[in-house]
Amino acid sequence: MKRRDVLRNLLAFIPLGTAFAGITTMGIRFITPRRRDLTRRIFAMHLEELPVNTSRKLTDLRGKDLVLVRTGEHEVKAMSTVCTHLGCTVHWEKDRQEFYCPCHAGRFDKDGNVLAGPPPAPLDTYHTEIQEDNIFIYFKDKES
């Protein structure tokens, strides 16, 4: 084979190799899409439906219970009602301004932090936002 023929064949292969690499990369990206976190903003209720120092139990998008607590004029907390000890349901105690787990006397403050008892971790919390007297809750779902 002559040197000129080798160079011609090599130059013909470069665009074909580049195209093959590009198509392979696109195929891999199509088959295995990037993982990302999805954040959903959901309307919960009107602010006037939740007086100050009261709570309202709701169900989130996955069917799990959560509680909304209005701790101030424009402050609303949202957190799971599942105790981090053994999964019992916690209740908001209006007069003490804290959550109480009746199973083993676990207590959590208005931010879900452990105050007393055996719970090993704080309650799961959700970000809330008040816009024009409407309460919104943000849920993060992981795409799998």
Task: Tell me the per-residue pLDDT of 70-94, one tens digit each, with 9 for 90 and over.
Answer: 888 889 989 888 899 888 899 888 8
d(CA 76, CA 47): 9
Residues 25, 48 within the same domain: no
Quick one: what percent of the chain has pLDDT higher than 90?
24
Which domain covers residue 102, as residue numbers?
Answer: 38-142
Residues 65, 116 within the same domain: yes
Place of tokens 């139990």: 57
Beta strands in the chain (DSSP E): 37-46, 55-59, 65-72, 75-80, 91-93, 98-101, 106-108, 114-116, 125-131, 134-142
Which tokens go with 95? 């007069």
Residues 43, 114 within the same domain: yes
- Using CA of residue 55, residue 75, residue 107, residue 142, what is the dihedral sign? positive
Domain count for the chain, please give it.
Answer: 2
For position 76, which CATH number holds? 2.102.10.10
d(CA 36, CA 14): 35
Per-residue pLDDT, 28: 85
Single pTM value for the model: 0.64
